[in-house]
Amino acid sequence: MYRKLIFVVAILALLLSSTTTVSADKPTNFDEQGNTLSTASDNGFDAAGYNRTARIFSGTYESWCMDKFGDASVCQTRYGPWLNDKLIMKWNDEWDRGNAEGWENPPYNAWLSNMANGKFPEGSGETWLYKFVWVGSCGADYTPLPDGGYCIWGQFEVIMDKGNDTGSVIWYAHATPSGYGSYFSNP
């Protein structure tokens, strides 16, 4: 009987030890999803709003302008009514390559999107969506292109330019097709 009691106690002890969980403090170098952080408050974005690794900008026209020009008077002159508007930009690695090369080693399968939202009390009251693709030499700014877009910066097509600044939707460009994938050949 004594042996049976020892055996039951040993089995219970084994079962209890294998189901007991140990709590530990959350490590400070990981976020909620387990992503490694360099500091406890690092979220991948710099002070201006860029996350260059993810190729995303999330900020305002003012934070973008100050990062680009560093001059409040330039920002006020160029973007005054929109400075408080929220701005999200996304781009691909080809856009980075083109910028690094000064757009002098084509072809580029580059694209960029800008999404602006000023529909809040301190904003402009406008919303805009732009999609740009590199197409090579295409003419002067705003030259209409055959597929419904227009040329900008001499070698980029605006394939979508859609906004709302008057209470109704305005389309300045809606190329066919208006998605990025259709402009680039598959590698």
Q: What is the pLDDT of residues 3-30, one digit of tens each?
A: 443 443 344 343 334 433 333 444 455 5
> Is 3 among the domain residues?
no
The residue among 84 and 38 whose pLDDT is bigger is: 84
Q: Please choose, from the candidates 130, 129, 155, 131, the residue with its C-alpha nearest in 3D space to the C-alpha of residue 141.
A: 155
How, if at all, do strands 169-174 and 86-91 pair?
Answer: unpaired
In this prediction, residue 23 carries a pLDDT of: 39
Residue type, position 20, single letter: T
* pLDDT at residue 114 is higher than 60: yes
Q: Is residue 85 part of a domain?
A: yes
- Does the pLDDT of residue 70 top 50, yes or no? yes
Q: Is residue 141 part of a domain?
A: yes
H or E segment to which residue 174 belongs? strand 169-174
Query: Does the pLDDT of residue 107 top 80, yes or no?
Result: yes
Q: Is residue 105 part of a domain?
A: yes
Residue 159 has pLDDT above 50, yes or no: yes
Provide the pLDDT for residue 26.
44
- Whether 122 shows a pLDDT value over 90: the answer reads yes
- What is the per-residue pLDDT for 185? 57
In a domain, 148, yes or no: yes
Virtual torsion, Cα 120, 64, 46, 58, nearest 10 deg:
40
**What distance in Å separates the CA atoms of residue 131 and residue 185, rounded to the nearest whole number?**
18
Read off the pLDDT of each residue in 163-179 and give the average, rounded to a whole number: 89
26 vs 185 pLDDT, higher one = 185
- Residue 73 in any domain: the answer is yes
DSSP helix/strand/coil, 120: coil
110 is a domain residue: yes
In this prediction, residue 29 carries a pLDDT of: 53
Q: What is the pLDDT of residue 177?
A: 83
Question: Domain range holding 162?
Answer: 55-187
Pairing label, strands 156-164, 169-174 = antiparallel
Which pLDDT value is given to residue 42? 58
DSSP state of 70: -
Of the two residues 35 and 63, the one the predictor is more confident about is 63
Among residues of the chain, what percentage have pLDDT more than 70? 75
In a domain, 17, yes or no: no
Q: Is the pLDDT of residue 113 over 60?
A: yes
The model's pTM is: 0.73
Give me the number of domains the chain comprises. 1
Q: What is the mean pLDDT of the chain?
A: 82
CA geometry: angle at 140 spanning 152 and 158, to 5°? 25
Cα–Cα dist 49/117, whole Å = 15
What is the rounded CA–CA span in Å between residue 50 and residue 33? 21
- 129 confidence band (pLDDT: 50, 70, 90): very high
